[in-house]
Chain A
C-alpha cells in the first residue's frame, strides 16, 4: 500500500558546508529491518532526484540511517541559490514521498 514514508519514518536534515546530511529513523526493530533493506542509496536518489553523490551509513543502535548528499548546497549556505540553502526541510520532503510500506508496519 502506497503511503508517505513519514508515516513511520522520522527525519532531520541540515548542512555541512556544501554537503547536506539527512538522518532518518524508525521506532521499532521490525521497521528498521524494513527501512534498512528498502532505503538504499539508489532508492534515496530516486525519491530525491536532486541528490547526485550520496554516502550512506547505518546506525542500528539508533534504528537510523544517515545520508550525506555531497555538493547539494554548492559552496555552502551563504552562497547557495538552492531553494532551501541549509537543507533544513530536505528530511520533510523525503517523508512526504509515497512508497510501498508493508501493512504490518502501519
Chain B
C-alpha cells in the first residue's frame, strides 16, 4: 500500500495545507495541483514580464516552510507547480529534484500565449525511480500526480489498464483538495466543514484505494462527498487521459470506518492523441455594477445603458440586470437591483475609457446613481481552446538535477 496525500487543489489554495498534511500523520507522497486552465494564462502573463517566472510562486513559499520537514520524514513531494517553467522552479529547491519537461508546444502553436500538452504519469514515475525527493512538472493531467508515484512504487506496466484506471480515479478524487472532504458540498449542513482536512488515498497494488484523511481533521469522507468530487469536471463515462481511458461507470464505492473504499475500476488503452491547453490573448475587459434603487428600475437601467452607449459605443458591451430589489423594502440594500456591464474589446484604450465614461455619468444619470466599486483600468483576458496532437509530436522527458 502507498499513502498519497494532497495539499493543494488550485493556485491560491490554503497555504498551510502542506504543513498540515506533513504533521497530521504518516504519508509516503504528498501531491499538489496548482494548474487550472485559467492558471496557465496567469502564469503566461507572469512569464511575459519575467522569463525566469512562470511557475506557482506559492509552492516555493510552502517549500521554504516545509521542505526540510518533508525530507526529514521521507515524504516525496510531487506537484505540477512548475507551470510553464518546471526547470526554473526545480533549480530553486535544495533537494534531489526531478522535473518533467516537454509539454510546452508553443513552437507548434506560435499564435498562442501558452500551449501545453497534458502529459501523463510515466515521466513522474521515472523521476521517482531515479531517486527524486521532489518532482515538479508543468502541464500534466491532475490525476498523473497520484498515478505516477503509485506506478513507480508498485512497478506497474504501461498496459496495466485497470490498475492505472484505479489510480486515476484516486487522483481525480484528490486533485481538488478539500472538495473530496466536504468542501463545496451540497449536503454541507449534515457535517462540520468549518475547516475540512485535505484528502489522502491509500492505494493498493491492484489500483483500488481507500480515500481518507488524517485523524482529527475537519470535514468528512463519505460516499456522498466522494461521489460529488467524482462528478466534478467530467464528460462522458469514458474518461480520456494520456495513459489510460478510465471507465467511470465501473467505479464501486463502499463506506469504510476510515473513509470510502474505491474498487472495480476498469481501464482501457488511451487515445492516440494528447490534449493541448491553448490560451491566447483575447483582448481587454473591464466591468462595473450600477446600483438601481427603489422605483422605475427598468427605466433607470435603460437610461444608463443609453448614456454609456452614447459615450463609448455599444460594441462589445454585455449588460445584465439582476432584479434583487424588493417592493416597499425595509432596508436600502433590499430595495436595490444590480445592473452589471462588461466591455470586451481589442483596444486597451477603449477598455480604460469605459471607466471614465461610466464615472462621468455620476451626477448626470438616474436618481440615486452609484456603483458597487469604481471600475479599474481594464485587464487583458484570455481565450481558452483545447487542441489535439499525435503522441509522436510530443517528447516528454524526465530530468533529475
* Distance of A82 Cα from B252 Cα, bound (Å): 36
| Given A27-B224, A79-B344, A83-B320, residue A62 in contact with residue B37 (CB < 8 A) | no
Interface residues of A in 10-27 (CB under 8 A from B): 10-12, 14-19, 21, 23-25, 27
* Distance of A23 Cα from B236 Cα, bound (Å): 11
Interface residues of B in 274-300 (CB under 8 A from A): 279, 282, 285, 287
Question: Which A residues touch B252, using CB under 8 A?
Answer: 61
* Distance of A15 Cα from B235 Cα, bound (Å): 11
**Which of B227, B340, B384 makes the CB contact (< 8 A) with A17?**
B384
* Cβ-based interface call for B342 (8 A): yes
**B-contact bits for A23-65, CB 8 A (1 contact / 0 none):** 1110100000000000000000000000000010111111110
**Is B230 a contact of A62 with CB atoms below 8 Å?**
yes
* Distance of A21 Cα from B318 Cα, bound (Å): 24
Q: Which residue of A lies closest to B252 (CB)?
A: A61
**Is A79 a contact of B282 with CB atoms below 8 Å?**
yes
Question: Which B residues touch A77, using CB under 8 A?
Answer: 37-38, 384
Grouping DSSP codes into helix (H, G, I), strand (E, B) and loop, the B interface class, with mixed when no group exceeds half, is: mixed
Task: Categorize the interface residue count of chain A.
Answer: 35 or more
Shortest C-beta distance, B354 to chain A (Å), equals: 13
**Is A78 a contact of B384 with CB atoms below 8 Å?**
yes
* Cβ-based interface call for B381 (8 A): yes
**Is A64 a contact of B385 with CB atoms below 8 Å?**
no
* Cβ-based interface call for B129 (8 A): no
**Which of A9, A12, A79 makes the CB contact (< 8 A) with B381?**
A79
**Is B250 a contact of A61 with CB atoms below 8 Å?**
yes
**Is B37 a contact of A17 with CB atoms below 8 Å?**
yes
Q: Which residue of A lies closest to B184 (CB)?
A: A12
Question: Which A residues touch B236, using CB under 8 A?
Answer: 55, 57
* Distance of A62 Cα from B342 Cα, bound (Å): 40
Question: Which B residues touch A78, using CB under 8 A?
Answer: 37-38, 41, 279, 282, 381-384
**Is A12 a contact of B231 with CB atoms below 8 Å?**
yes
| Given A12-B229, A81-B344, residue A76 in contact with residue B318 (CB < 8 A) | no
Q: Which residue of B lies closest to A87 (CB)?
A: B233
Max chain A Cβ within 10 angstroms of own Cβ: one of B187, B232, B252: B232
Max chain B Cβ within 10 angstroms of own Cβ: one of A25, A55, A60, A78: A78
Q: List 23 A-B contacts (CB under 8 A).
A: A12-B184, A15-B37, A21-B231, A21-B233, A21-B235, A23-B231, A25-B224, A25-B231, A57-B237, A59-B249, A66-B231, A66-B234, A66-B235, A75-B385, A78-B37, A78-B279, A79-B282, A79-B285, A79-B381, A79-B382, A81-B285, A81-B344, A83-B340
